Amino acid sequence: MKQKLMSSVQIILLLPLTAMGLTGQSYPGKPKIIRCRSLEKETFSCWWKPGSDGGLPTNYTLFYSKDSEEKIYECPDYRTSGPNSCYFNKNHTNPWTTYNITVTATNEIGSNSSDPQYVDVTSIVQPGSPVNLTLEAKTSASITYLWAKWSPPPLADASSNSHMYHYELRLKPEEKEEWQETIPVGMQTQYKVSRLNPGMKYVVQVRCILDLGEWSEWSSEKHIQIPSEELPPEKPTIIKCRSPEKETFTCWWKPGSDGGRPTNYTLLYSKEGEEQVYECPDYRTAGPNSCYFDKKHTSFWTIYNITVRATNEIGSNSSDPHYVDVTYIVQPDPPVNVTLELKKPMNRKPYLVLTWSPPPLADVRSGWLTLEYELRLKPEEGEEWETIFVGQQTQYKMFSLNPGKKYIVQIHCKPDHHGSWSEWSSENYIQIPNDFRVKDMIVWIIVGVLSSLICLIMSWTMILKGYRMIAFILPPVPGPKIKGIDTHLLETGKSEELLSALGCHGFPPTSDCEELLIEYLEVEDSEDQQLMPSHSNGNPSKKGKTTPKETDSDSGRGSCDSPSLLSEKCRESRALPSTLQTQDVRDVQENKAVKRSWETQCVASERKTLLSNSESTKSSTWPAAQLPDNQPPMFAYHSTVDARKITLITTNVNVAPVLVENEEKHQSRYSVTETVPGDMEEQGEMENLHSKTEQTAVQVKQNRPNEKSPFLNGTLMDYVEVHKVKQDEEPAVLLKHKENSGKTENYTIPGTSKEYTKVSTVVDHNILVLMPDSRVQHTPMSQEPAKEASQNLQQGQAEKNMSYCLTAPSDCKRETSGSEYMDPSSFMPSFK
Amino acid sequence: CPTAGMLTPNGKEYAQKIPREELTYVILKLLHAWKEPLSHFNQHMEHHQELPDDSLSKAKQISKMVHELETGIEKVTEKMQSMGIISNSLHGMASSEAAGFSSTNEANMMSDSDFIHCFKRDSNKVQCYLKILKCRIMPENSC
């Protein structure tokens, strides 16, 4: 009581002082009782945690009372359980009592008490962990057991060893996290664990408990490796053997599984031809699981038989033998001292020289080991390496690297024979300097300036003379314009010019009667056998229609003279006929000559030249019947074409059969012209054309009866139809060719009594130019010959070499007798 | 191997220690020793129908090469002896100890692959010796 009063007075007295905060010190903070434990129910300890000490040395006192007694006791033992603890020994411990414990912290200023803790000994019992846990793996009858042994937790009081603990054991495989098994052991301090996997590692713990209270903590872990089945170790394998410089070598092996038992490895070898077995001289130099053979133990050109043996307590196992000949297992170290040098020769691009040294161990100087090098490089960002084989030299010049880029280069080497490549040397970086040559830059600058100037100029001119330029560059699309017709001309009304523009020569015809307007029929002997009508130029009746067609379509006749050319000639020679025709027809000679020349002119193809010297062959037929007196008009046309058939149609209306011959007579003759004497048939066929009126069958015989004239083939051209091309104009005869052979038909051309009996020219190879006979006009003649003579003047044949020489015979001409035509007979002799 | 009985330097040191004449002599001896076995082998090969033509021609080529090599080395040796690079002392030995290999009977008992293996090894020996010899005689030449 007194003590209580005193302490409380002290506290009251101290309070104001501390409240005033003198000197910054204060009474201590409140301690806290952490826990109270009893190890064996007979003693117990309490531990507390101090609060703040207020800066002054603090004293801690523990006071307790039992049950509801008022007596307060102080802690009997502050030391046994350590600092900040109180140990209640046996004498002070009553198991069925509730203790009311408080801890007071006191310092100079004041004191502070913890909250009271009510402790029932029986409820705080927790033994310590068992100790001395030992594990042992034993194998009996090929089953492996684990023996676990431990000791009970220690007690301060050795006499209380009779306590009965119950134990518990737990184990798990080492790598697992969860405990595989928790086994109640009972009161023993040992235990045998079975059902363990051999070869695995396990972790074991134990704990204990008294008849009441809590379990102790788990003891510390104990590890054990369960040995695998009792087997000898697995067979090791030899990985490889290598010699870095062809003077020593090393072999490496890989162990098999050893089953957890300690295993020993030994390497044994023997040489070829020797029986003795040696053991590896050096296990260490090259690292674990290796064997190093130094120079003394290395022999060349001998085969080593090497094996590795693994041994453990159970037994041993040997690897497969490995045969090695040192000369074939050389793998050098990578080259060293890789250096780069940039060389800049004059007048050439700079290049890079890469040099390196052979690896230090390799003895290249004595020639014992010869190395070949290979380097690879790639741009830094590149994917693929470019590998270059260098050979035995130790330098390399690189020319073709891109300036400004960064390259990675590596080198490796190998013996020149029987070896393997070394590792690649460490990466070397090359930075190619940017090679801006001043010259190049200047050139580019000049080019740039010039082009910009040009662009400026162009744009300016475009702007200033925009339209003109555009018109110059992009010419306007021309409107339709007929050639020759100038709209201005039309407007002015000059028809002459207009018509001349249109190509009508001589239209309106000038009153040049001398000019013979002769229509020229071009008789063409072609496969199509169509004659193209040749229009008369300047035909007065036709305006604008008679456009000379100078189609020079290449029919492949192969004639030297194109029809157009020929027509040119014809035109040129038109003057001739006119001149000729002015002559007296009876002036044969002149005619002859002229005609001949004219004829030769107009006859184009040499082959088909009518002037062939073959007797009976080609002879241009000229409209023979120019007999002034009653000569029936007849004409023979002759189409000469390369190796084509010629149909010779001659009609002789009023003439007795005439043999086509070179006769001088001015009788109606028929000259049979024949084309190329190539594959012509014998022109046996004559067209017999009978005129309707007093016909005399005119038989045109071939000039050369003997000769084989490939004249009339099967496809004999049969000109049987004559059409008047232009009804209202001067005669123009359209001879239609009929593919008949040897038909003779009689046709009449209604209305027209024109007979084309005059052959004006023979154009080209198969064009016979016929002109109408003026005299014939009056006599009704059978048109047949005319028809037949005339060739088809259709213009469908683009391929035909047709030329048109057509001149409308003038009336004047007609007046003149005999001057309009040429007497072919006069030419005959020339043909012979 | 047909040359099993021959004593040849078994490593770099030995090859460098023995005098040059002896090395030359060893080379020549090796080459000479293979002439006859090679020709026997070629004959043997010709009887084999199933071998491809390449092998036959290759084998003939090889024995020809060996012969040429031997001739060449003999010439070089003579030249060297005349130039005084090596001495003449062992010149006689080459011809006297020509029969350095086992008889042909033994060669016939060997299998083809063994034969080829032996030849490969001996040709490698010859190559190595020649290189060392070259560097010993003319060190400045890429040695």
When CB atoms are compared, the residue of B8, B124, B132 closest to A368 is B132
How confident is the model over A87-109, as a mean pLDDT?
84
pLDDT digits (tens, 9 = 90+) for B75-104: 988 888 888 777 776 555 554 454 544 455
The model's confidence at residue A484, banded by pLDDT at 50, 70 and 90, is low
**pLDDT for res A23:** 58
CB–CB contact A367 B12 (8 Å)? no
Above 70 in pLDDT, residue A709? no
CB–CB contact A366 B10 (8 Å)? no
Top pLDDT among A808 and A106 is at: A106
Cβ-Cβ contacts under 8 Å, B16 against chain A: 366
Point out the least confidently predicted range of A76-85, A132-141, A561-570.
Answer: A561-570
Top pLDDT among A746 and A114 is at: A114
The model's confidence at residue A117, banded by pLDDT at 50, 70 and 90, is confident
CB–CB contact A365 B11 (8 Å)? no
The model's confidence at residue A267, banded by pLDDT at 50, 70 and 90, is very high
Above 70 in pLDDT, residue A87? yes
CB–CB contact B124 A364 (8 Å)? no
pTM of the predicted model, to two decimals? 0.44
CB–CB contact B11 A370 (8 Å)? no
**pLDDT for res A234:** 85
Best CA proximity match to A272, nearest among A248, A247, A301, A309: A301
How confident is the model over A139-168, as a mean pLDDT?
78
Could you give the CA distance from residue A248 to residue A300 in angstroms, rounded to a whole number? 10
When CB atoms are compared, the residue of A298, A367, A417 closest to B132 is A367
By a Cβ cutoff of 8 Å, what residues of chain A touch chain B?
A: 246-247, 273, 295, 298-302, 325, 327, 363-368, 370, 392, 417-418
- Tell me the CATH class for B12-100+111-137: mainly alpha
DSSP designation for A124: G
**pLDDT for res A738:** 45
Specify which of A660-664, A673-677, A773-777 reaches the highest per-range mean pLDDT: A773-777
CB–CB contact A300 B11 (8 Å)? yes
Top pLDDT among A139 and A71 is at: A71
Nearest residue on chain B to A326, judged by CA atoms?
Answer: B11
Q: Are A341 and A432 in contact (CB under 8 A)?
A: no
Above 50 in pLDDT, residue A26? yes
**Amino acid type, A358:** P
B142 touching A, CB under 8 A?
yes
The model's confidence at residue A312, banded by pLDDT at 50, 70 and 90, is confident
Above 70 in pLDDT, residue B71? yes
**pLDDT for res A710:** 40
Query: What architecture is domain A131-226?
Result: Sandwich (2.60)
A202: Cβ–Cβ under 8 A, 6 or more apart, which residues?
Answer: A146, A171, A172, A173, A174, A196, A223, A224, A225, A226
Specify which of A65-79, A753-767, B60-74 reaches the highest per-range mean pLDDT: B60-74
B141 touching A, CB under 8 A?
no
The model's confidence at residue A721, banded by pLDDT at 50, 70 and 90, is very low
**pLDDT for res A159:** 62
Could you give the CA distance from residue A325 to residue A632 in angstroms, rounded to a whole number? 122
A556: Cβ–Cβ under 8 A, 6 or more apart, which residues?
Answer: A799
B124 touching A, CB under 8 A?
yes
CB–CB contact A418 B135 (8 Å)? no
CB–CB contact A367 B10 (8 Å)? no
Distances from the Cα of A147 to the Cα of A142, A202, B139, angstroms: 15, 12, 75
pLDDT digits (tens, 9 = 90+) for B13-35: 888 888 888 888 888 888 888 88
A450 to chain B, minimum CA–CA distance in Å? 57
Per DSSP, helices labelled H in A334-476 are: 438-464, 466-473
B29 to chain A, minimum CA–CA distance in Å? 17
CB–CB contact A301 B134 (8 Å)? no
**pLDDT for res A678:** 38
pLDDT digits (tens, 9 = 90+) for A772-802: 655 544 444 444 444 444 444 443 344 444 4
Count the alpha carbons within 13 Å of A399 in the hemisphere toward its beta carbon.
3
**pLDDT for res A122:** 81
Above 50 in pLDDT, residue A182? yes
B47 to chain A, minimum CA–CA distance in Å? 31
Cβ-Cβ contacts under 8 Å, A417 against chain B: 124, 127
Above 80 in pLDDT, residue A355? yes
**pLDDT for res A801:** 42
Domain spans, chain B: 12-100+111-137
The model's confidence at residue A411, banded by pLDDT at 50, 70 and 90, is very high
B26 to chain A, minimum CA–CA distance in Å? 15
Helix H or strand E encompassing A324: strand A322-325
Percent of chain A residues past pLDDT 70, beyond the cut: 53
Cβ-Cβ contacts under 8 Å, A392 against chain B: 142
Percent of chain B residues past pLDDT 90, beyond the cut: 3
| CATH superfamily of the A32-123 domain | Immunoglobulins (2.60.40.10)
Give the strands of the sheet with A222-225, arranged side by side: A181-186, A166-173, A201-209, A222-225
How confident is the model over A595-621, as a mean pLDDT?
42
Provide the greatest CA pair distance for chain A: 196
**pLDDT for res A485:** 59
How confident is the model over A105-111, as a mean pLDDT?
84
**pLDDT for res A127:** 86
How confident is the model over A568-577, as a mean pLDDT?
46
- Kindly report the average pLDDT of chain A as a whole number: 68
Nearest residue on chain B to A301, judged by CA atoms?
Answer: B121
B11 touching A, CB under 8 A?
yes
Count the alpha carbons within 13 Å of A336 in the hemisphere toward its beta carbon.
7
Domain spans, chain A: 32-123, 131-226, 237-325, 336-438
pLDDT digits (tens, 9 = 90+) for A614-634: 444 444 444 444 444 444 444
**pLDDT for res A782:** 42
When CB atoms are compared, the residue of B10, B13, B143 closest to A367 is B143
B10 touching A, CB under 8 A?
yes
**pLDDT for res A266:** 92
> Backbone phi, then psi, for A175, in 5-degree steps?
-85, -10
**pLDDT for res A306:** 93
* Interface contacts (A, B; CB < 8 Å): 48
pLDDT digits (tens, 9 = 90+) for B110-141: 787 888 888 899 989 999 998 888 888 887 76
| CATH superfamily of the A336-438 domain | Immunoglobulins (2.60.40.10)
Query: What architecture is domain A237-325?
Result: Sandwich (2.60)
When CB atoms are compared, the residue of A247, A325, A370 closest to B131 is A370
How confident is the model over A66-95, as a mean pLDDT?
84
Interface test with A, best of B3, B7, B8, B12 (most A CBs within 10 A): B12
Cβ-Cβ contacts under 8 Å, B13 against chain A: 295
**pLDDT for res A581:** 41
B141 to chain A, minimum CA–CA distance in Å? 10
Above 50 in pLDDT, residue A603? no
Could you give the CA distance from residue A617 to residue A152 in angstroms, rounded to a whole number? 150
Interface test with B, best of A300, A325, A369 (most B CBs within 10 A): A300
